[in-house]
A and B are shown apart, each in its own frame.
Chain A
Amino acid sequence: MNRLALLLVAALAPWTIAPPAGADDPRTEAAATLKRDLKPRGITTLDLLVEDGVQAVCNRTDDKPPKELAQRLEQDQLAGIRWPADGKLVGDWKSGERIAQNGRGMTWSDPAGTPGGGSCYNCHRIGPEETSFGSIGPSLLQFGKLRGYGPDMQRYVYGKIYNAKAYNLCSLMPRFGHVGALTEQQIKDLVALLLDPASPVNK
């Protein structure tokens, strides 16, 4: 615990030293300006603008944190993952495809209480039939076929969708389970989309 604290201080030291008199810390000013100019709407609130630990580190290291610090924080993120109580990680791939196609959820135009999706096709190529796919993330076509269908792979995929930062601290991928954007069942269905041998992804 002490070691982790020392690592954090060492990595963030340049930003913990008080700036010279008259100079404003630009990030502090940015955060303050956003807080002043942005208004809560729908399900969005102003505390969303306050950086959590992961965002704070990634913002201050240009998404390239020191390796040892990243590993420690990834472990913290991993420890926060809620695994299914029944131990089953694979759901229904047909439902998974619908969830992957659905880009709704977590915006101010999404009514509270309505289930959202994973917006997966926004960033990834997934099934062979869908040509409208993004290129922000890697292709997931033939995911299970290429990597295997075993329990370790299932755990990796479930964990990655639940909290991508547990595997790559400054990943561009949202932490769908961690923030409640996807339910346990929805994540299981996405795991099935990638790891069910019968899924078109693996044909």
Chain B
Amino acid sequence: MTRALALCAAAAFIAALPVPPAAGQSKPPAVERDATTEEFEKFRAVLEADNPAELFEVKGEELWKTPRGPKNASLAACDLGLGPGVVKGAYVQLPRYFADTGKVMDAERRIVHCMVTLQGFDAAALAKQPFSTETRTPDPVALTTFVAGQSRGMKIAPPQSLPQERAAFALGREIFFYRAGSYDFSCASCHGEDGKRIRTQQLPNLTRPEQAIRGYQGWPGYRMTGGVMHTLQWRLNDCFRQQRFPEPEYLSDSLTALLTYLAVNAKGQVYKGPGIKR
């Protein structure tokens, strides 16, 4: 009886509260938002003309062609999905299923696989510090940048013909919308709507093609803050951190699934090559 009374009182109290103003009243004026966005776009165009990411493409190409590692082999035999050694166009057709591993793999994951199997590098060692710092760019990062650059100007076309590839997309979508953690965030909390911004950083809506490309396009990306080269493996890792989640394992299935969801959503859009970031 007391509980029912308390609930009624709570309901009455809530009903009596002033209603927050309708959304239309408190949005920033549209004109202000457009001007800010425009300035950032102008700035971005100037930066893109000479992108230090190209230095890492050059470095990556050198790493691809040079015999290295315990097996003293180059990556010339590495199959990125289009046949051994075919690099041109491979990045935009990833993630995809690979029969030799029985897994759907994204670009960086496949490149590391090749480094391990063809060159004899140690997977655990590569996973220890996989992300760039101001003084060190890991080899997989330079290689992924090179490979991505070789798909410059091509349409994003990850295959979805196999059940494993479709399953990766479906899993990625589920993870994308999964709210959890101390802040109740999912990827969709920031990336599920048009026209949103976190501070002054535009947030592309990754669920639709015209916007998903804006998320996919920047990566691999040269980040001017610190002068570091980063790939999507880094970007997703940092998203999980900002979402207040625990940390995803480098190259894990969760990340490949999310990358599949992202790439498929960006399908048909043109990839302009490695990008540049603030």
Contact = CB atoms under 8 A, between A and B. Distances in A.
Interface of A: 1, 26-27, 29-31, 33-34, 36-41, 44-46, 48-51, 54-55, 58-59, 62, 71, 74-75, 78-79, 106-109, 121-123, 125, 131-136, 138-141, 146-148, 152-153, 155-156, 165, 167, 172, 174-175, 179, 181
User: Secondary structure of the B side of the interface?
Assistant: mixed
Interface stretch (B142-150, B196-204, B266-274): B196-204
Contacts of B248: 37-39
B184 A122 contact: no
A134 B196 contact: yes
A140 B6 CA distance: 31
Contacts of A36: 253
B199 A132 contact: yes
A139 B27 contact: yes
Given A48-B181, A125-B28, 12 more contacts: A33-B257, A41-B246, A44-B247, A48-B244, A75-B10, A75-B11, A79-B6, A133-B200, A135-B27, A136-B190, A138-B21, A138-B23
Contacts of A62: 177
Contacts of B11: 71, 75
B244 A107 contact: yes
B18 A148 contact: yes
Given A27-B174, A59-B177, A75-B14, A134 B198 contact: yes
Given A147-B21, A174-B185, A136 B249 contact: no
Contact of A39 (B185, B198, B247): B247
Contacts of A49: 180-181, 245-246
Contacts of B246: 38-41, 44-46, 48-49, 108
Contacts of B190: 136
User: Which of A33, A54, A153 has the most chain B CB atoms inside 10 A of its CB?
Assistant: A33
A173 to B, nearest CB: 8
17 contacts: A29-B174, A31-B178, A38-B247, A38-B254, A48-B181, A48-B245, A51-B179, A58-B179, A75-B10, A106-B182, A106-B244, A135-B27, A135-B196, A138-B26, A139-B27, A155-B17, A181-B183
